[in-house]
C-alpha cells in the first residue's frame, strides 16, 4: 500500500533537522494503529541533505516552475540535436535565467519555513548544480520532480550531441542471366513400312541427314543468341557494379564532408559553450563571494544586535535598580521630613512650656 501523500509532503518539506523525529513519530503511530507494514515502509525513508530539501521544496510547493524547466530542457535537447546555434544560445540564456529564478525561489521558500537553516548557510550552489543536472539528464529530472530527492546532483557533460545516421546505398542485385534451355533431341521419322524398296530406303536416310543438319543449324543459332545475351548481361552487370562502386565512393565522400562540416560546427559551438561556461563560472564565483560577504556582514550585524540586546538588558536592570533606590530615597526623605516636623513640634511645645513657666508667680518677682 502506498504511503500517505500528506505524510510524505510533511516529511520532505520540513527542515532536515526535524525529519528523523517526525518519521519516528509516524512509525510509532502506524504501529499503534496495527499497521506494521506501513510502519516498516516509513522507517525506510531517509533524511535528505539541506540542498535536496531545498529542491524538494520547489517540487512540492512550486511544481509549475519545474514543469517550465522540463519544457526548456526538451527545447534545449532539440536545438542540440538540430545543431541550431542561434536557438541554442537563446535557450542557454533562458536556462541561466530560469535556474537563477528557481534558486531565488528556493531561498524564499526556505525563509518561510519555521526552524529552517539561516539564509547565510543555505547551499544554493548545490541547488543550482542539481537544477542544471536536471536540464541535461532525464533521470535526474524525474528525481527532482518526485519531491523526494535525498542528495544534490551534478552533470559534467555538454548535453546531447547528435550523430549523423549514415546508410550505404548500393545497386540492385546482379541480374541473373536467363537460363539456356537445354536442347532436346530431334525427332526421327522412322518409316518401318515393309515392302519399300532400296531407293526409298536411301531417300529416307537422306531425309534423316537433312533433318539432323537443320536441327544442328537451329541449335547453333540458338547457342549463338544465348551467348550474345549472356555477353550483354555480363556487360550490364559490369556497368551496374561500376555504378554502384562510384555511388558508394560518392556517398562516402559526402559523408566525410558532412562529418567534417558537423565537426567544425560543433567545435565552434564548443568554443562558444566553453566561453559561456567560463563567463558563467566567473559570475558564479563572484556571486558566491558576494553571498559570502553578505553572510559575513549579516553575521556581524547579528552579533552587534546581540551585544546591543545584552547591553540594553543590563541598562534596563540598572535603571530598575536606580528607580528602586530613588523610591527608597523618597520614602526616607518623607520619613525624615515627618520626623523633622515632629521634632520641631516637640521643641515648640517645650519652648511654650518654658515661656508659660517664666510668666507664672515666681516670674513676677
Beta-carbon contacts of residue 276 (< 8 Å; ≥ 6 apart): 89, 92
Beta-carbon contacts of residue 42 (< 8 Å; ≥ 6 apart): 3, 7, 23, 26, 27, 30
Where is pLDDT greater, at 292 or 102? 102
Q: Could you tell me which of 47, 71, 91 has the C-alpha nearest to residue 134?
A: 71
Judge whether 104 and 133 are in contact, CB under 8 Å.
no
Judge whether 34 and 64 are in contact, CB under 8 Å.
no
Q: Is the pLDDT of residue 201 over 90?
A: no
- Copy the grid coordinates of residue 269: 559551438
Report the alpha-carbon distance of residue 169 to residue 171 in Å, rounded: 7
DSSP 8-state secondary structure symbol assigned to residue 49: P
Q: Could you tell me which of 62, 55, 60, 70 has the C-alpha nearest to residue 138?
A: 70
Distances in Å between the alpha carbon of 63 and those of 22, 53, 70?
24, 14, 11
Q: Is the pLDDT of residue 172 over 50?
A: no
User: Once rounded to an integer, what is the mean pLDDT over residues 226-244?
Assistant: 59
Give percent of the chain with pLDDT exceeding 70. 72
User: Once rounded to an integer, what is the mean pLDDT over residues 273-288?
Assistant: 77
Q: Is the pLDDT of residue 192 over 90?
A: no
- Copy the grid coordinates of residue 224: 549463338
Judge whether 129 and 153 are in contact, CB under 8 Å.
yes
Of the pLDDT bands very low, low, confident and very high (cuts 50, 70, 90), residue 27 is very high
User: Once rounded to an integer, what is the mean pLDDT over residues 335-344?
Assistant: 92
Distances in Å between the alpha carbon of 83 and those of 257, 333, 358?
16, 96, 133
Q: Could you tell me which of 260, 75, 259, 257 has the C-alpha nearest to residue 160?
A: 75
Instruction: Say if pTM beats, i.e. exceeds, 0.75.
Output: no
- Copy the grid coordinates of residue 36: 506494521
Q: Which residue has the cell 532536515?
A: 16
State the chain's mean pLDDT as an integer.
78
Report the alpha-carbon distance of residue 169 to residue 241 in Å, rounded: 13
117: left (phi over 0), alpha (psi -120 to 50) or beta: beta
Q: What is the largest CA-CA distance in the chain?
A: 238
Of the pLDDT bands very low, low, confident and very high (cuts 50, 70, 90), residue 245 is low
Q: Is the pLDDT of residue 133 over 60?
A: yes
End-to-end CA distance of the chain: 128
pLDDT tens digit sequence for 314-334: 989 998 899 999 999 999 999
DSSP string over 270-312: HHHHHHHHHHHHHHHHHHHHHHHHHHHHHHHHHHHHHHHHHHH
Q: Is the pLDDT of residue 190 over 60?
A: no
Judge whether 294 and 120 are in contact, CB under 8 Å.
yes
Q: Is the pLDDT of residue 175 over 60?
A: no
- Copy the grid coordinates of residue 238: 559490369
Rg over alpha carbons for the chain, rounded to the nearest Å, is: 55
Amino acid at each position: 500500500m502506498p504511503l500517505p501523500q500528506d505524510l510524505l509532503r510533511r516529511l520532505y518539506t520540513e527542515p532536515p533537522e526535524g525529519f528523523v523525529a517526525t518519521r519516528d513519530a509516524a512509525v510509532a503511530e502506524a504501529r499503534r494503529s496495527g499497521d506494521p507494514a506501513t510502519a516498516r515502509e516509513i522507517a525506510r525513508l531517509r533524511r535528505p541533505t539541506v540542498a535536496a530539501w531545498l529542491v524538494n521544496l520547489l517540487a512540492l510547493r512550486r511544481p509549475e516552475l519545474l514543469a517550465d524547466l522540463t519544457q526548456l530542457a526538451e527545447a534545449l535537447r532539440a536545438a542540440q540535436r538540430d545543431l541550431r546555434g542561434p536557438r541554442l544560445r537563446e535557450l542557454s540564456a533562458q536556462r541561466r535565467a530560469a535556474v537563477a529564478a528557481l534558486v531565488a525561489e528556493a531561498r524564499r521558500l526556505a525563509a518561510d519555513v519555521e526552524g529552517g537553516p539561516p539564509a547565510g548557510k543555505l547551499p544554493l550552489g548545490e541547488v543550482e548544480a542539481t537544477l542544471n543536472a536536471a536540464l541535461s539528464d532525464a533521470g535526474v529530472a524525474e528525481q527532482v520532480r518526485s519531491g523526494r530527492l535525498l542528495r544534490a546532483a551534478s552533470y559534467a557533460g555538454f548535453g546531447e550531441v547528435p550523430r549523423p545516421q549514415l546508410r550505404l546505398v548500393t545497386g540492385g542485385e546482379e541480374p541473373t542471366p536467363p537460363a539456356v534451355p537445354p536442347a532436346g533431341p530431334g525427332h526421327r521419322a522412322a518409316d518401318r513400312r515393309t515392302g519399300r524398296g532400296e531407293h526409298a530406303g536411301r531417300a529416307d536416310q537422306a531425309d534423316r541427314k537433312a533433318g539432323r543438319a537443320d536441327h544442328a543449324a537451329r541449335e547453333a543459332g540458338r547457342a549463338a543468341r544465348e551467348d550474345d545475351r549472356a555477353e550483354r548481361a555480363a556487360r550490364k552487370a559490369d556497368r551496374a557494379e561500376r555504378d554502384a562502386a562510384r555511388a558508394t565512393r560518392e556517398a562516402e565522400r559526402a559523408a566525410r564532408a558532412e562529418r567534417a562540416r558537423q565537426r567544425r560546427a560543433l567545435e565552434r559551438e564548443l568554443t562558444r559553450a566553453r566561453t559561456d561556461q567560463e563567463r558563467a563560472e566567473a559570475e558564479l564565483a563572484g556571486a558566491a563571494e558576494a553571498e559570502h560577504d553578505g553572510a559575513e556582514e549579516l553575521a556581524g550585524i547579528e552579533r552587534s544586535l546581540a551585544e546591543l540586546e545584552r547591553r540594553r538588558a543590563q541598562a534596563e536592570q540598572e535603571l530598575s535598580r536606580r528607580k528602586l533606590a530613588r523610591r527608597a530615597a523618597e520614602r526616607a526623605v518623607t520619613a525624615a521630613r515627618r520626623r523633622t516636623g515632629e521634632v520641631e513640634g516637640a521643641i515648640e511645645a517645650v519652648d511654650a512650656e518654658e515661656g508659660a513657666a517664666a510668666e507664672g508667680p515666681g516670674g513676677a518677682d
